[in-house]
Amino acid sequence: MRSMWQMWKNYMPDSQCDKIVKQALEIAPVQATTYGNVADLRRSKIRWIQRADADWDWLFRDIEYVCKRANTAFGFDINLFHEIQFTEYDAAYTGYYGWHEDLRWIPQSGSNSQRKLSFVLQLSDPSTYTGGDLEFQMNEQSPMPADLRIKGTTIVFPSFIKHRVVPVTSGTRYSLVTWYEGPPFK
């Protein structure tokens, strides 16, 4: 593997980020959960953007392009992603997500697919909230949290990398997240 992450600062223009937020906030929110429903690991609201919704086709195509481009550094066998998670971390409930991986090492029963790449797009202007930094546990140099706070910045990384979102202490942080899947790692 040539790198542990691929990042593009200001990838998505501010106007597109604002459009995503406005449109996603029209979707009914649900309380976020975790694999195994681990207590106190996560506090956030999410909204699912479905592939079947034609209003979002452009976003699915864009994410597919970014993930396939990033995968040239990883060389994983990837083939699909299902939906996009619009995530809200709000200071009103001290939104956060503790240290976790996005990968289940043992695939679910009946599944022949496993998360391989994680995609995050920062949608909020960093001046509108405090806290909420996306942080990584890596042996090599991690991306700088300040770079990841830049509105429109996207990062793609292997789903087995541990990461977290520290508590939001004022304002609201919005992001998009999805996972590119492929056959289980061997």
Cα 123 to its chain centre, rounded Å, is: 11
Backbone angles phi, psi at 6, to 5 degrees: -130, 130
- Please provide residue 72's backbone torsions phi and psi, each rounded to the nearest 5 degrees: -65, -25
State pLDDT tens for residues 145-163.
Answer: 999 999 999 999 999 999 9
Q: How far apart are CA 111 and CA 103, in angstroms?
A: 13
pLDDT over threshold 60, residue 2 = no
**pLDDT > 90? residue 181:** yes
For residue 120, the model assigns a pLDDT of 98
**Digit-coded pLDDT (tens) for 45-72:** 999 999 999 999 999 999 999 999 999 9
Q: Residues 94-144: pLDDT tens digits?
A: 999 999 999 987 766 667 889 999 999 999 999 999 999 999 998 668 899
DSSP state of 52: T
pLDDT for 109: 66
The predicted structure's pLDDT at residue 152: 98
For the chain, domain boundaries: 6-182
Select the highest-mean-pLDDT range: 33-37, 77-81, 120-124: 120-124
Please give the pLDDT value at position 110: 67
Give, in words, the CATH class of 6-182.
Answer: mainly beta
Q: Where are the beta strands (DSSP E) in 106-166?
A: 114-122, 129-131, 134-137, 154-158, 162-165
Look over the chain and give the mean of its residue pLDDT values, rounded to a whole number. Answer: 93
Query: Tokens in use for 2?
Result: 């040539």
- Whether residue 117 contacts residue 157, with contact meaning beta carbons closer than 8 Å, is answered with yes
pLDDT at 3: 77
Q: What is the pLDDT of residue 171?
A: 98
pTM: 0.94
